[in-house]
Amino acid sequence: MARSKRSPLMLAGLLATAGVAHFVAPRQFDATVPRVLPGSPRAWTYASGVVEIALAAGLAVPRTRRAGARAAAAFFVAVFPANVQMAVDWRHRPAPLRRAAYARLPLQVPLVLWARSVARDGRSGPCRG
């Protein structure tokens, strides 16, 4: 089964949207920064937003797609502790919010697999070289 040539661009769009959200609404991301990290949560929020935008750019360019996809897979693994922190912190919130926090945990798996798939496909798209 052929993978969609749009898949890398869709993943790039997801990352770019998330990255921009870190700057537009940073407060919600600040709350998920694990307390064991040094410095202010806002600095980590902005740094992760910059990383997500950079990963999106790497995925969007065929020449850097493979490296960008590998880095995105690693990033999705690296931010998992923030999702765990959110689930722990939100365990006493109203049921809909608690369910949303818990639902984020297994969503990291398909994101990692998606990024790995894009990395395997390498420079797929119209500019194969």
pLDDT score of 128: 43
Cα separation, 36 vs 52, whole angstroms: 22
Residue with tokens 């919130």: 93
* Paired tokens of 13: 């769009």
pLDDT (tens digit per residue) in 23-75? 999 998 888 888 888 999 999 999 999 999 999 999 999 999 999 999 999 99
Q: What average pLDDT does the structure give for the chain? A: 89
Scanning the structure block, which residue is given the tokens 């749009």? 6
Per-residue pLDDT of 2-20, as tens digits, reads 456 789 999 999 999 999 9
- pLDDT band at residue 124 under the 50/70/90 scheme: very low
